[in-house]
C-alpha cells in the first residue's frame, strides 16, 4: 500500500455526480441481511479489506474554489467506522418511518432500512456552504438489528465513486469476504489503483463531434424536453425522498421473458422499457390513437469498450447514458415495442452517442440542477424511465459458507434530478427481481405500485 496521500481532480462525468448527489440523486446503497447478528465482526473485517483493495472507497471529496472543482483525496490507510444500531435503536427508526408514512405498514423492515439509508445525505449542502464544507467520505457503513436477531449490513456510496456494475462486484466481494471464501481472499490480496475519470479512457476519436452538430443536438435535447410526457405528478412542491417498489417474477415467467428477448435478439432492458411505456400510458385512460412522447434513458457499462479495457473490479463511474424518445399511441404490443425501443438504443450506441453526447448530457444535467424551472412543474424529471443495458446475474445461495443469507439488494436514489422511475434489475436464482426507485411524494407509492402491477400483467401476457 502506498505511504503517501493521493489526489486527483474529478472528471466531467464525476463532476456532474458531485453536483447531483447533494440534491438527492446518486446515493447508492448495498444491503445484505444475515440471520445471525454475531456476523458483525466479519462485516468489519470485510470492509477493511475492501478499502485496501479499492482505494476509491477510502476517498474524501474535497471542493477547491480556486478551480471550482472537486478532488478525490485518498489517504494511505483505511479509515472507517461502522455506525451500529442495536435492536431498540432500529425499532425506533422503523417506528418513526411508519408513523410518518401511512403506506409503509406492510413493507418489510429491510426495505424501510434501505429507503432510510438511501435518503441519508452526508453530501447535502447549499451553494453558499460548498466552499466551506469539510471534506466528505464517499463511503459509509451501517448495521441494524432486525426482528428475530437478523443483521442488516448497509453500505452507502457516492455514485461518482461506484457505479451500478461496480456496486454489484462490491456486493459479491463483501459477501464472499463475510463468508470467508478463499477465492475472494486471494482476489483482494493486493492494493488496487485509483482509476481516472471515464473521459480519460475513451478511445481516440470516439468522442469527436463537430461544433455545429453539438449545437444542434443541445438544442434538440432542450426543445424535446418540453414535449415529453410523464406520469402525473401527485405533489410537486413538498420535499422529496426516494422510495422503492419491487417488480418480481417467478422462475417460469422469468424464463419466458428471457427466452422471448433472446429469440428476438434484444436484451431485457428493451422488454422492461416497453412494458413500462405501455403501462404508463394505459394508466392515463387516454383514447387509442392519441400519441404521447416518452423519454427512455439507457445506462451502459462502458468498461469493455474503453481503452484500455477495464474490468468491473475497477470501481468508479464508468457508465454512460443514451437518450431515446418513443411515441406511444396505446395500440402497441409488448414484443413489437420491445424491439423498437431496444433497436433505437442499439442504433444510437453503434453511432457512439454514449461518447459523443457525454459532455452535452453532463452539461444539461447540471443546468437542470441549477434551474429546476427548465423541467415540467420544476419536478427535475429528465425522463420517464431509466434502465440498464446489462442485467445483474446473481447466484447467491440461501445458505453460503458459514453464514445464512436472508436477503440482499442494491439500488440508488433518484429524488433530485432524474427519471420518474429507475429500474435496477437482477436475476436472483432464476427469478427476475427489480428494485424500482422513484421520487416521493412527486409520485405516490400507490401510483407506482399500480404502474408495477400493470407492468407485471403485460409481462405475464407475452403473446403479440
CATH superfamily of this structure's domain 199-460 = Nonribosomal peptide synthetase, condensation domain (3.30.559.30)
pLDDT at 126: 47
Say what the pLDDT of residue 215 is.
59
Establish whether domains 6-198 and 199-460 are of one fold: yes
Residue corresponding to grid cell 456486493: 171
Homologous superfamily of domain range 6-198: Chloramphenicol acetyltransferase-like domain (3.30.559.10)
**What pTM, to 2 d.p., does this model score?**
0.93
- Residue 206's CB is within 10 A of a number of other CB atoms, namely 14
CA dihedral sign, ordered 344, 349, 354, 355 = negative
* Under-50 pLDDT residues of the chain: 126-128, 398-399
* Residue 456 CB-density burial (10 A; 0-12 exposed, 13-18 middle, 19+ buried): middle
Question: What does 168-227 look like in DSSP terms, one character per residue?
Answer: HHHHHHHHHHHTT-HHHHHHTSS---PPPPGGGGSPTTTT---HHHHHHHHHHHHHHHTT
pLDDT of residue 399: 45
C-alpha cell, 198: 471515464
Give CA–CA dist 83/145, Å, rounded. Answer: 12
Contact 387, 295 (CB under 8 A): no
430 Rama class: left (phi>0) / alpha (psi -120 to 50) / beta = left
Q: What's the Cα-to-Cα distance from 133 to each of 18, 28, 60, 68, 157, rounded to whole Å? A: 13, 21, 12, 13, 18
Give the total residue count for the chain.
464
- Domain positions in the chain are 6-198, 199-460
Torsional sign, CA 219, 365, 380, 125: negative
DSSP 418: E
Measured over all CA atoms, what is the biggest interatomic distance in the chain, rounded to whole angstroms? 67
**Is the CB of residue 162 less than 8 Å from the CB of residue 14?**
no
Residues 315 and 172 sit within 8 Å (Cβ to Cβ)? no
What pLDDT sits at residue 253?
A: 95
Q: What are phi and psi of 25, to 5 degrees?
A: -115, 130
Q: Provide the pLDDT for residue 443.
A: 97
DSSP string, 69-115: EEEEEE-SS-----EEE-HHHHHHHHHHHHHH-GGGTTS-HHHHHHH
Q: What is the pLDDT of residue 322?
A: 95
* Residues whose CB falls within 8 Å of the CB of residue 217, separated by 6 or more in sequence, listed in order: 209, 357, 360
| Positive/negative CA dihedral, 31, 36, 41, 46 | negative
Amino acid at each position: 500500500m502506498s505511504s503517501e496521500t493521493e489526489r486527483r481532480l474529478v472528471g466531467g462525468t464525476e463532476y456532474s455526480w458531485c453536483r447531483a448527489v447533494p440534491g438527492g440523486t446518486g446515493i447508492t446503497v448495498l444491503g445484505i441481511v444475515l440471520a445471525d447478528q454475531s456476523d458483525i465482526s466479519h462485516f468489519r473485517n470485510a470492509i477493511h479489506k475492501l478499502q485496501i483493495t479499492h482505494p476509491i472507497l477510502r476517498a474524501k471529496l474535497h471542493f477547491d474554489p480556486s478551480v471550482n472543482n472537486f478532488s478525490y483525496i485518498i489517504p494511505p490507510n483505511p479509515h472507517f467506522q461502522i455506525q451500529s444500531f442495536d435492536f431498540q435503536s432500529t425499532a425506533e427508526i422503523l417506528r418513526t418511518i411508519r408513523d410518518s408514512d401511512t403506506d409503509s405498514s406492510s413493507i418489510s423492515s429491510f426495505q424501510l432500512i434501505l429507503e432510510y439509508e438511501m435518503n441519508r445525505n452526508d453530501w447535502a449542502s447549499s451553494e453558499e456552504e460548498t466552499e466551506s464544507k469539510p471534506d466528505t467520505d464517499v463511503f459509509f457503513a451501517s448495521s441494524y438489528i432486525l426482528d428475530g436477531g437478523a443483521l442488516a449490513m448497509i453500505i452507502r456510496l457516492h455514485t461518482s465513486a461506484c457505479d451500478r456494475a461496480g456496486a454489484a462486484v462490491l456486493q459479491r466481494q463483501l459477501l464472499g469476504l463475510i463468508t470467508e471464501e478463499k477465492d475472494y481472499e486471494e482476489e483482494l490480496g493486493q492494493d488496487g489503483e485509483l482509476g481516472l475519470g471515464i473521459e480519460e479512457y475513451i478511445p481516440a476519436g470516439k468522442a469527436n463531434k463537430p461544433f455545429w452538430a453539438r449545437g444542434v443536438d443541445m438544442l434538440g435535447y432542450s426543445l424535446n424536453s418540453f414535449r415529453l410526457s410523464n406520469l402525473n405528478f401527485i405533489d410537486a412542491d413538498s420535499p422529496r425522498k426516494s422510495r422503492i417498489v419491487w417488480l418480481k417474477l417467478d422462475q417460469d415467467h422469468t424464463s419466458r421473458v428471457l427466452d422471448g428477448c433472446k429469440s428476438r435478439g434484444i436484451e431485457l432492458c428493451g422488454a422492461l422499457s416497453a412494458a413500462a411505456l405501455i403501462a404508463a400510458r394505459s394508466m392515463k385512460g387516454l383514447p387509442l390513437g392519441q400519441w404521447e412522447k416518452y423519454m427512455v434513458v439507457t445506462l451502459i457499462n462502458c468498461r469493455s469498450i474503453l481503452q484500455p479495457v477495464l474490468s468491473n473490479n475497477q470501481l468508479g463511474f464508468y457508465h454512460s447514458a443514451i437518450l431515446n424518445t418513443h411515441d406511444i399511441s396505446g395500440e402497441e404490443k409488448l414484443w413489437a415495442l420491445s424491439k423498437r425501443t431496444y433497436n433505437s438504443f442499439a442504433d444510437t450506441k453503434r453511432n457512439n452517442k454514449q461518447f459523443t453526447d457525454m459532455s452535452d448530457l453532463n452539461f444539461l444535467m447540471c443546468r437542470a440542477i441549477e434551474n429546476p424551472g427548465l423541467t415540467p412543474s420544476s419536478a427535475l424529471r429528465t425522463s420517464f424511465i431509466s434502465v440498464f443495458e446489462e442485467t445483474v446475474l446473481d447466484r447467491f445461495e440461501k445458505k453460503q459458507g458459514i453464514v445464512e443469507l436472508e436477503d440482499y439488494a442494491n439500488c440508488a436514489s433518484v429524488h433530485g434530478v432524474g427519471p420518474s422511475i429507475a429500474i435496477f434489475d437482477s436475476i436472483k436464482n432464476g427469478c427476475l427481481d427489480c428494485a424500482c426507485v422513484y421520487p416521493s411524494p412527486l409520485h405516490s407509492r400507490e401510483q407506482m405500485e399500480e404502474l408495477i402491477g400493470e407492468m407485471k400483467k403485460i409481462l405475464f401476457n407475452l403473446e403479440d
